[in-house]
Chain A
Amino acid sequence: GNSVTQMEGPVTLSEEAFLTINCTYTATGYPSLFWYVQYPGEGLQLLLKATKADDKGSNKGFEATYRKETTSFHLEKGSVQVSDSAVYFCALRGSGGYQKVTFGIGTKLQVIP
């Protein structure tokens, strides 16, 4: 079956530091890939997505590139802010029909001033 592996946190960074959160996946076919973010006390919201190989999703300074050869979708941001402190979930949705979404374990990011 499908699976998502992402680095466990917590990740603590100083403001303006570079962020990478690794995510790799296992799936058949051509899944869609997502990063969701959960701010403290809130539900999940979509951060970015990519639906085919070599696509780059981007939003709010965050980027992730769909790499089929390495089955990866690493999340990056060049300069994090305190307001980026949240839990980040990598996820995939299988191809073919209306497939369920599989989530990674989530990585907690804490940005300190």
Chain B
Amino acid sequence: GAVVSQHPSRVICKSGTSVKIECRSLDFQATTMFWYRQFPKKSLMLMATSNEGSKATYEQGVEKDKFLINHASLTLSTLTVTSAHPEDSSFYICSAGRDSDTGELFFGEGSRLTVL
């Protein structure tokens, strides 16, 4: 099966610093990856669609300058939370679909961000 890996799985940072989360498709190429944020006891909120070689498409209400997304290759997308604040603390999950697939997404393990 297809594997998507995220790193780091947990990160704790001080308020005001920036944190980068990586998402890799290990055994397939993904021109499109998706970044989700999961709030406690709530569903997954799509933050943005990451497109290889072009700018990400952000969902309404998501600050593109705070959540920087770079999709530099067909197997790697990164999410950088800039000038993090405690309210940015959350579980961030990336996903990718194989280009030839009918719709199944493969998810990373998620990254737990805690901003002190």
Contact of B43 among A34, A42, A89 (CB under 8 A): A89
Which of B6, B108, B110: most chain A CB closer than 10 A?
A: B110
- Find B46's partner among A32, A49, A100, A105 (CB 8 Å cutoff): A100
Tell me which residues from 38 to 87 in chain B have a Cβ below 8 Å from any Cβ of chain A: 42-44, 46, 49
Residue pairs across A and B with CB atoms within 8 Å: the count is 48
Contact A45 B107 (CB under 8 A): yes
Taking a contact as CB atoms under 8 Å apart, the answer to whether A49 and B103 are in contact is yes
Give CA–CA (A101, B35) in the complex, Å: 11
Q: Separation in Å of the B67 CB from the closest CB of chain A? A: 16
For the complex, what is the distance from the CA of A106 to the CA of B45, rounded to whole Å? 12
A102 CA to B59 CA in the complex, in Å?
A: 12
Instruction: Judge if B25 is at the interface, Cβ distance under 8 Å.
Output: no
Chain A CB within 10 A, most for which of B32, B44, B110? B44
Given A98-B32, A98-B97, A100-B49, A46:B43 Cβ within 8 A: no
Q: Is B105's CB under 8 angstroms from A101's CB?
A: yes
Contact code string A85-113 (vs B, CB < 8 Å = 1, else 0): 00001000100001111111110000000
Question: Is A61 part of the contact surface with B, judged by Cβ < 8 Å?
Answer: no
- For the complex, give the distance between the alpha carbons of A92 and B76 in Å: 25
Q: Which residues of A contact B (CB under 8 A)?
A: 32, 34, 36, 42-46, 49, 51, 89, 93, 98-106
